[in-house]
Structure 1
Amino acid sequence: MLATSATFDLPASLFFSVPTRPMAHLGKLFLALATVSLLHAHFNLHLFDRPDAVDSADGSTTRKSLRVGHLPVTCHLTCPVTSWVSQHSSERSEFVSWRYTSWPAMTEDIDAGNLDAAFILAPLAMVMQRQGTPVKIVHLGHRDGTAIVVKKDSPYQTFEDLRGKRLAIPHRYSNQRILIEKLKDEFHFSNSEITLIDYPPPEMPAGLRSGQFEAYIVGEPFAAKAEVDGFGRVLYFTKDIWPNFISCVLVVTERLIERDPDIVRELVQGISASGKWIDEGDQRLMAGLVEENSEDAGHAGATVIPEGFGRSPRMQAALIAARQEYYNQDPELLKFVLTRPIDRVSYSSLDLAEQDFAEIQDYAERLGFFSFRPVTEDDPFGFDDYCDPSFERSGTWELPLESDGDSTAGGPSTDRAEALD
């Protein structure tokens, strides 16, 4: 589902009046229908806005704009951060973080030609390419950031205890499902000894609470949500059972690569720089963020850091993502995800590695992800078919941070240090 939409109603008289001059009225009717079709294409389908030319922040130049699809999950955190950074700098293209609430809505827009860049599940990207949707993975979105959750008062202590139970997964073409299959192998489960249920990630905490299933696996913050609300606990973090776990990747369409490779390169640079800032940055404030007691706290459009919240890059990223136009979530929930523990999710080491995808593809083939077009010697399929790492070799962004003299910059973040203690 798109974050915004517009609809247009035609007056009833347009269809029900009796014309006295048929040809003239038919001409007006066709003109009206054509106008409405164009408006629908522009506002609802966004067919004419990729990439756009928009005014720079100071109005001196025009720059390109590209929408980047994402879900409100911390696996996609670099998307709103990159969007925020691009909006506060006139030196580069603007990347507009475009929120969806489901994978099908996002993939339908890609298939229809309405979206040229998005964060999606890694196996799903591979399946789309194999099915004929011309997309390429150009960068990772994160590492780790997924957990298996059970009820706080349940007796389950290991995966073995879930034998005969129901477990919700976010999508049949997800690495979360692949991880469960790996655990089934390790604990010698047959397919009939655990029931997997496709379930929308935002609804998983409520589903667990109401007894729809005994456990779920999902990307944050929907694992932490059950913890914060007091009825759930983490059985496993993916970082502990599949280190450097990959859930989501950044994909772009091949038509965008052909039409504007420079904006693809710029997007990858921005995602990379945002991830490194989140993981490794100091306490300088990002442009557009102000502390609560600052004289700029009332500035329209500013993101205000509440007193005591912390100003590390992770805390700043949480506040940016929590904004209504991005995730529209409680910043305290995102703070919990990004600090409890600090390595619950990471945004470094995001370059594409063939060995990572070889393991994913091995399981994907075994699970029948490509059953519609099996991989054979005569019809091969591999890393180069769905990945293009060439855009990762082109430098990075300089982020719009306050000057060293304006803050306690240079040392490690106090928020990170406290979280590690």
Structure 2
Amino acid sequence: MNKFKSISFWGMILSLAVAFAFTQKTHNSNVTQSEVQRPNIILIVADDLGYADLSCYGSKTINTPNLDKLAAEGIRFTDFHSNGPVCSPTRAALLTGKYQQRVGIDGVVTAKHDRHKGLAPNEKTFAETFKEAGYVTGMFGKWHVGYETKFNPINQGFDEYIGFVSGNVDYHSHVDQEGYEDWWTGDKLVKEEGYSTDLITRHSVDFIKRHKEEPFLLYIPHEAPHGPFQGRNSKPQRKVREQEGADFIINPPEENRAEIYKEMVEVMDEGIGVVLNTLKELNLDKNTFVFFCSDNGGTSRCGDNGKLRGYKASLWEGGHRVTAIAWYPGVIAPNQINDETLLTMDLYPTLAEMIGAEIPQNIDGVSIKNHLLKGEDMPKRDLFWGYAGRAAMRRGDWKLMLSKPDAEPMLYNLKSDLEETNNVANENRELVKEMLVKLNTWKKEVKSEK
């Protein structure tokens, strides 16, 4: 079933867009026809953004004009999901196109307990696929799938990297949650002054300007609005530990957390606007595909998930149903709302197909390119989540939930009960039994590959 609410004349639009791009670009002798037809790719990921934290998703308090414009000129997704309800698992799935359990990143990689753990270097990332296709690749922001040098982004397909490898840093001192300096250029610690959100934007814009004459992949995983809750004028909260076990918190968090959180989201939106304006100024906007999403749902401390039940770290919808927007002017028609159930891991094969690259055969995600550009129906498939002993499964509008491995299964129909308040497992015992078999089979399958 086609779940777009607005689709029209895709074949004509796509053909005209490619023809227009070729006509405009062939005046530059350094650009080949194959390069013209392969778009630049920008992937932007927010951190802990609530489902209702953007004004285009219903926020009445936070103003996000640039993301609103992106949605108005493209596709806004209502049933897009992060692979995990926390940071590291979703990022592992995003990078590899696989369920994160297959690559051994099914929980948060922490600075305190997992400094020797990370995404295995032999796992192929979407950045490596883009490098093989002749793209220059850059990443600026949060990594969070490995601390050691062998796990560093420049060893996993990115030509350039500036950012932090932990779960979060002080936005001003760039000290992580365990008291370590954590701001890198490539695989070297490099001190740099500035508010982390602004630095991420600045380096992203610089990357675009330096590589405007060649096809590029730009991955922008923002820190915002993840804690610590700090605005541009906030004082640093952390300093480097003087010795192991020493306290490294030097300033308490500011009390006006809601105002700071609002500023954090709006500064991120402002930076995204700078990136988009840079594309327009350089005449790259018509040949650039931009995708925005969050890595999981908002937290109970500040995030607004609207009417969704639960928050980050839960398998209720509030933990993993996230904001997502696709933008490709001249190719994607404006003002679309997409209700298809999609996952983070679908982005790898989608982006690969966008540029005509080979899609790895051993991944779980599926390309949604033709769904986005031509309105083709998505294949029917079961989708799964697992975290901290809990598990969930989607089959169409049905969602099966297990609060722990031996718990009684719960069943919800999200079409009529998006808030997940009415457990209808007893009225649908055969369906529950069938889905439970599928879910348990999946758990064994992905665990066996760790």
TM-score by length of 2: 0.23
State which structure, 1 or 2, has the greater radius of gyration over its C-alpha atoms. Answer: 1
Flag the structure with more relative contact order, 1 or 2, with Cα contacts below 8 A and sequence separation at least 6. 2
More helix by share: 1
